[in-house]
Amino acid sequence: MDYLAVKHTHMAIAVLSILLFYVRSFSRIGSGAIAKNKVVFIGSHVTDTFLLISAITLMAIAKINPLEQMWLLEKIILVVAYIAFGIIASKQKALPAKLAFLVVTTAVIALIGKLAVTKTAILL
């Protein structure tokens, strides 16, 4: 497989995943109707599954070991944090809590993006 093709596919899926996260998050701040929509819900999970598959494929093609590349290990840790904060945010009832977790999750997304671009560890 061509590395650049997989990389660009991964990047496009990442953008779609983030977009769907915000659609669902802002929906929950309002009525929640869009977030409860089966197509949006299942689409988010399918998108995230393809994002994971493309990430693993990129690591395999490039022969990158996250235990040897601190930036990649940090990115994986932050992706787990992104998932955790996203789940916590989706379960909040109070608006201030929803907004707080949305801000935290946005910061994590920004760190993941910075790591993807610079390939330089920030926290580790």
Query: At which residue do the structure tokens 């929950």 appear?
Result: 28
Helix (H, G, I), strand (E, B) or coil at 87: helix
The domain limits of the chain are: 1-63, 67-124
Q: What is the pLDDT of residues 46-92, one digit of tens each?
A: 999 999 999 999 999 999 999 999 999 999 999 999 999 988 998 99
Locate 30 and state its tokens. 């309002």
Per-residue model confidence (pLDDT) at position 94: 94
- Would you state the structure tokens that stand for residue 104, as one six-digit string? 């935290």
Rounded to whole angstroms, the Cα distance separating 18 from 92 reads 19
Give the relative orientation of helices 95-118 and 3-29 as an angle to the nearest 10 degrees: 170
